[in-house]
Structure 1
Amino acid sequence: MTLKQLEAFYWAASAANFLVAAERLHVSQSTLSKRIAELEAHLREPLFDRSGHRAVLTDAGEQLLPLARRMLGLADEMRSLAAGGAGLRGHCRFGVGELAALTWLPDLVALTRSRHPELVLEPQVDLGQALERRLESGELDFAVVAGYSSRGAIASEAIAQVRFSWAAAPALVGAQRAVSARLLQDTALVTMPPAAGPARMLEHWLAVNNLEAGRRLTCNNLAAIASLVAAGVGIGLFPNGWLRRMEERGAVVELRSRPALPTLEYTFQWRRDDSRPLLARMREAVAATVDFSKPSPLW
C-alpha cells in the first residue's frame, strides 16, 4: 500500500462525499476512486459499501480509519523531521468571517508564508453557520467562527473577544446619543444576515431586554453596512476598532445602550477526529495574529 492510497481512503471516509475528498487532495474523483480500489485490492477487503445512494464504510473500513489517521500523522512528523523544521507543506483550506478578512487575515497569511513557505493557503470567507457546515463536511481544515459550535464532531477553542457598539449618522439622531425602544421602532436597523455571529448576538440582546426592531435592512457586507449607516439609512453595530475610525472621519457617532452589547467570543474550530500537526501550527499562527480591534482599511 502507499501513503497516497491511505490519504485517499482517509479523506473519502472523513469528507461528506468522494467529490469533496477529491477536491481536498486536488485530484480528480476518478483518481481518488482508483487509489481506494488499489488499497482494497491490496487488503483484499472492501472498505466502502457502494450498494446504496451514498458509499459508507464497511466494518473493515471502520477498523482501518483510525490506523490510517495515525499513519498519515506519523508521515507528517517524519516529513517535518527530515525537513529540519523547515515548515509545513501541502494545502490548507480554512474559513473566516468577513470581519476577520478585513482585519487580521492579511497578517495571518504573511506570518504563515514566512514560517511555512511551502504551505499553500486557501482562505474561504463566509458566514459562521456556513463555515461550520463546511468544516464538518471536510471541505475545510479549520475555521475561526463567532461562538462555540453545537455540532458534536467539531471542537472549539476560544481565540479572541470582540466588543461591539452602536452607531448612527450624526444627522439621523441629532442630539440623541442613546439606543431606546422608540429609536429601534422608528429607525431602520442595518445588520448582517441571521447566520452571522454579530447578528445572533444582537438578537439575543434584543430578546433579553424585551426590545424589538421596527424595520430591518439586512446586508452580507460589512463595508456596505458601514456606508448605509453613514448615509443615515439606519443604525447599526460595529466592532470598536471600526467605530473609532468612522468617528474620526465624522461619518458616525457612537450611541450608548444600557445594558451594553455583550462581548462576542470567537473560537478556533476543527474536527475532533483530525489530529494532524497542521492544525496545531495554524492554531499558533492564528493566536499570534488575531486582532479584531484593527480598523478596517475600507473605513
Structure 2
Amino acid sequence: MNLQQLETFRWVAALGSFTKAAVKLNTTQSTISMRISELENELGVQFLDRTKRQIKLTRSGMDLLEYATNIHEQVTALKAKIANPETMTGSIKIGVAELIALTWLPDLVANLSHLFPNIDIELEVGLAGDIREKTLSGDTDLGIIPGNGKFGEGIEAISLGAIRFAFMASPKLGVPDRQLVPKDLEDWPLISLGPNSILSDLQESWFKDHDARPKKQDRTNSMEISAGLVRSGLGVSLLPLNYYDGDVKAATMQVLKTEPELPAISFYSIYATANNSPLIQKIIEIARQVSDIPD
C-alpha cells in the first residue's frame, strides 16, 4: 500500500468514476483500475461495488475512505509546515468571477508566481454556477466566486467579504430619478448575466418576491458587455457600485434608487473537499490579503 494508491482511491470515491479520476490525476483509466485492484488484493477486501452503473463504496470502502482522508490531511499539514515553496512543481487551475479578474486577480497571480515560481497557473473566467460545478468535479482546483455560502456537499468555502451591487442605467435611457420599486422597472429592458449567475438569481428573486416581471430581458455572459450595453442606453443592469463609480461620476451611468435595497453579495474561495492541499490553502491566504472586498 502506498500514498499514490490511497490518493487514487480518494478521487475515485469523490468523483464516482474511474474515468474522471484518471483525468484529475492525469493518468489513464487502466492505471486507476490497476491501483485500486492492487489495494484490494493487498488488503483482501473489496472497496468498490462495481455491479451498478455508478460506483458505490462498500462498507470496507467507507472505512478505508476515512483512513485515506485522515492520511491525506496529515500529509497536507506536513507539507504546509515543512516544504520549501520553491521546490513545489505542477499546475493549478483557478476559476474566477469576472469582477475578480477585472480587479485584484493580477495581484494574486503576481504573488503566487513569486512564491511558487515552478507552479504553472491556469486561469478561467466564468459564471459562478459553472465554476462551482467544475470545482466539484475536480476540473478546477480553486474557485473565487459570489454565492450565498451554500455550495453543496463536497465543497469547502472560505468567505472573502461582500460587495454591494445596484441597478444602473444610462441617464439617456430616461429612467425616473426617484425611488423605484420592482413594479416600476418592469417596463424597462433588463440586461442580465446567464442563468448560472448568482446575480441573475438575486434579481429574479427581487422581482418575483414583489409580483413583478421584466417585459424584456437580454442576457450576456459578461459583466463588462452588460455595462457597455448600459452605457449605450440599451437597458438596466445589476452592476457593482465601486467598480463603476467612475461611470457614475462621468454621468455615463446613474445608480437607480430602488426599494427594497438589494443585499450585498458575498464572495468566496471554494475548493472540493477531496482536493485540499497546502497550495490551495496558501492561495486562499494570499487571496484574502490582496482582495479589496470589504469584510
Q: TM-score, normalised by structure 2?
A: 0.85
Is the CA contact (8 Å cut-off) linking 2:169 and 2:175 kept in structure 1? no
Deviation at 1:230, TM superposition (A): 1.2
Matches within 5 A, 1:137-216: 137-145=137-145, 146-149=147-150, 151-173=152-174, 176=177, 179=180, 183-216=184-217
- Aligned positions, number: 293
**1:185-218 deviation line (CA, Å, top 9, x unaligned):** 3320111123211122212322344433221111
Deviation at 1:263, TM superposition (A): 0.9
Q: Within 1, Cα distance between the matches of 2:272 and 2:76?
A: 18
Q: Within 1, Cα distance between the matches of 2:252 and 2:20?
A: 44
Helix, strand or coil at the partner of 1:62: helix
Identical-residue share of aligned pairs (%): 28
Deviation at 1:234, TM superposition (A): 0.8
Is the CA contact (8 Å cut-off) linking 2:194 and 2:200 kept in structure 1? yes
Helix, strand or coil at the partner of 1:242: coil
| Alpha-carbon spacing, 1:226–1:7, altered in 2? closer, same or farther (3 Å) | same
2:70 is aligned to 70
Is the CA contact (8 Å cut-off) linking 1:15 and 1:139 kept in structure 2? no
Say whether 1:61 aligns with 2:76.
no
Is the CA contact (8 Å cut-off) linking 1:104 and 1:292 kept in structure 2? no
Is the CA contact (8 Å cut-off) linking 2:89 and 2:119 kept in structure 1? yes
Deviation at 1:74, TM superposition (A): 3.2
Aligned alpha-carbon RMSD (Å):
2.8
Q: Within 1, Cα distance between the matches of 2:189 and 2:179?
A: 15
| Alpha-carbon spacing, 1:238–1:81, altered in 2? closer, same or farther (3 Å) | closer
Say whether 1:286 aligns with 2:284.
no
Q: Within 1, Cα distance between the matches of 2:267 and 2:209?
A: 21
**1:23-71 deviation line (CA, Å, top 9, x unaligned):** 2222222222222223233333332222222222222222111222232
Q: Within 1, Cα distance between the matches of 2:76 and 2:156?
A: 22
Is the CA contact (8 Å cut-off) linking 1:170 and 1:253 kept in structure 2? yes
Q: Within 1, Cα distance between the matches of 2:133 and 2:173?
A: 39
Is the CA contact (8 Å cut-off) linking 1:246 and 1:252 kept in structure 2? yes
Q: What one-letter code is carried by the residue in structure 2 that aligns with 1:36?
A: I
Give ranges in structure 2 of 5+ residues lacking alignment: none
| Alpha-carbon spacing, 1:181–1:159, altered in 2? closer, same or farther (3 Å) | closer
Q: What one-letter code is carried by the residue in structure 1 that aligns with 2:91?
A: H
